[in-house]
């Protein structure tokens, strides 16, 4: 049976690299991103493979858009993989928390914490039907209080806890959840965080493909609830 994946933030950077990797393996794909033009371009690239591609432009922080993504997943017959990749970096250049705009902080939390959980809630029936895997994209900012990264880091730390909690709670319905820190990459998002820095020494997001290949080849029992670094020296299963 053809496998199906839903990838948020799928028009550029890491999301697009994962989507292209899965398309090459014959997956049916649902991709979403805010910018319709970028998304259309990504969709055209993904259509060079054998699977179906549904591209829906919109903001995952909006409930109605999440409803349409969940509906698309139902229409494709279920969901083997949900990658919550879309993230809001917050204000850039990165201001210290003492000066952080609270409305902007709420937006970051809405996009990076509430939206991924809401999308999991909405797509849970589709995920359960296929014994699916949820991947929440995290960051090393979730672990270490880097100055300037407080808002983004706090949102990712919350998402990590959501991941480990869901991993325990969703066992009954057969859905596994992991958290993945992809590492620094040469992406627009990373450039936004370091506007005046040359980031050409960072690897392209495609450098994480061996990790995704490994992760998707594991039995869910072996990885459920774990947090991985895509650029770590080892990726281990539960022993």
* 31: β partners: 7, 55
Nearer to other proteins, 36 or 210 (CB): 210
Q: Is 93 left (phi over 0), alpha (psi -120 to 50) or beta?
A: beta
Closest approach, Cβ 211 to other proteins, in A, equals: 8
Least Cα distance to 184 among 231, 120, 142 occurs for: 231
The residue within the footprint of other proteins, chosen from 34, 38, 41, 49 (CB under 8 A), is: 49
Reply yes or no on whether 126 is catalytic: no
Q: Does 225 bind other proteins (CB under 8 A)?
A: no
Q: Of 11, 122, 126, 156, which one is the catalytic site residue? A: 156
Query: How many whole angstroms separate alpha carbon 86 and alpha carbon 42?
Result: 15
Q: Does 93 bind other proteins (CB under 8 A)?
A: no
Nearer to other proteins, 47 or 62 (CB): 47
Burial of 129 (C-beta count, 10 Å sphere; 0-12/13-18/19+): middle
Q: Does 25 bind other proteins (CB under 8 A)?
A: yes
SS3 category, 216: helix
Q: Does 48 bind other proteins (CB under 8 A)?
A: yes
Q: Does 235 bind other proteins (CB under 8 A)?
A: yes
Q: Does 100 bind other proteins (CB under 8 A)?
A: no
Least Cα distance to 27 among 4, 45, 10, 46 occurs for: 4
Q: Is 149 left (phi over 0), alpha (psi -120 to 50) or beta?
A: alpha
Q: Does 204 bind other proteins (CB under 8 A)?
A: yes
Reply yes or no on whether 138 is catalytic: yes
Reply yes or no on whether 152 is catalytic: yes
- Residues near other proteins (CB under 8 A) are 20-21, 24-26, 48-50, 203-204, 206-207, 209-211, 213-214, 216-218, 233-237, 239
Residues with catalytic roles: 138-139, 152, 156
């Amino acid at each position: 049976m053809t496998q199906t994946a839903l990838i948020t933030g799928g028009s550029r950077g890491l999301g697009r690299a994962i989507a292209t990797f899965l398309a090459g393996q014959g997956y049916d794909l649902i991709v979403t991103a805010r910018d319709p033009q970028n998304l259309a371009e990504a969709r055209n690239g993904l259509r060079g493979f054998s699977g179906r591609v549904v591209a829906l432009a919109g903001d995952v922080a909006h409930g109605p858009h999440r409803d349409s993504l969940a509906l698309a997943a139902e229409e494709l017959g279920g969901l083997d993989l949900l990658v919550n990749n879309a993230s809001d970096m917050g204000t850039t250049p990165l201001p210290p928390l003492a000066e952080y705009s609270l409305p902007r902080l709420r937006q970051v939390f809405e996009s990076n914490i509430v939206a991924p959980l809401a999308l999991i809630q909405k797509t849970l029936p589709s995920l359960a039907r296929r014994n699916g895997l949820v991947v929440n994209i995290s960051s090393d900012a979730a672990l270490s209080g880097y100055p300037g990264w407080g808002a983004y880091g706090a949102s990712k730390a919350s998402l990590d806890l959501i991941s480990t909690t869901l991993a325990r709670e969703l066992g009954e319905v057969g859905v596994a959840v992991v958290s993945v820190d992809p590492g620094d990459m040469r992406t627009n998002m990373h450039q936004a965080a370091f506007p005046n820095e040359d980031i050409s020494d960072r690897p392209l997001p495609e450098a994480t493909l061996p990790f995704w290949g490994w992760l998707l080849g594991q039995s869910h029992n072996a990885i459920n609830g774990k947090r991985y670094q895509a650029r770590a020296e080892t990726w281990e299963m539960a022993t």
